[in-house]
């Protein structure tokens, strides 16, 4: 009985380790470097048929969420004006689509694509969701 439990535990451990090795290998195939606007664009525009679509989409949306949360946190309208004024109900998927469309439009502009990713993101969202003030 003890041998059977040990064998079962070992088998489960090997399955977990094998699964994590496969996941790590798959992630290495995709470029998850978000240093430039071009890199972020590649990530956010990953096609739904790509095996890494879900991971890439969540990484893109996480980047957007962090950047927008920081923007919202520091722009109080008095000392630092808002750059992005998205309407209530705007989703991360909306932000991803807005950025991907903007980047697609500017993909041949080497200067823009080489900018820091957050700069390109803010430019894209500010164009999609401009502030009236």
Phi–psi pair at 15, nearest 5 degrees: -65, -45
Give the pLDDT confidence score for residue 132 in this predicted structure. Answer: 85
Query: Structure pTM?
Result: 0.75
- Model confidence pLDDT, tens digit, residues 97-106: 999 999 999 9
- Quick one: how far is CA 84 from the chain centroid? 18
Percent of the chain with pLDDT over 90: 61
Give the pLDDT confidence score for residue 133 in this predicted structure. Answer: 63
CB 75 within 8 A of CB 83: yes
Mean pLDDT of the chain: 81
CB 31 within 8 A of CB 39: yes
Percent of the chain with pLDDT over 70: 75
- Topology of domain 31-128, per CATH? 10k-s Protein, Hypothetical Protein A; Chain A (1.10.890)
The domain spans of the chain are: 1-29, 31-128
- Model confidence pLDDT, tens digit, residues 97-131: 999 999 999 999 999 999 999 999 999 999 999 99
């Amino acid at each position: 009985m003890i041998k059977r439990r040990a064998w079962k535990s070992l088998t489960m451990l090997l399955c977990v380790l094998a699964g994590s090795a496969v996941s790590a290998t798959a992630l290495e195939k995709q470029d998850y470097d978000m240093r430039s606007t071009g890199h972020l664009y590649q990530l956010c525009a990953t096609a739904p048929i790509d095996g890494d679509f879900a991971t890439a989409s969540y990484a893109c949306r996480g980047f957007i969420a962090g950047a927008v949360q920081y923007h919202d946190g520091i722009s109080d309208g008095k000392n630092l004006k808002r750059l992005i004024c998205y309407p209530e109900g705007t989703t991360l998927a909306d932000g991803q689509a807005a950025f991907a469309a903007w980047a697609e439009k500017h993909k041949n502009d080497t200067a823009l694509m080489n900018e820091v990713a957050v700069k390109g993101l803010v430019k894209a969202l500010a164009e999609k969701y401009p502030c009236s003030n």
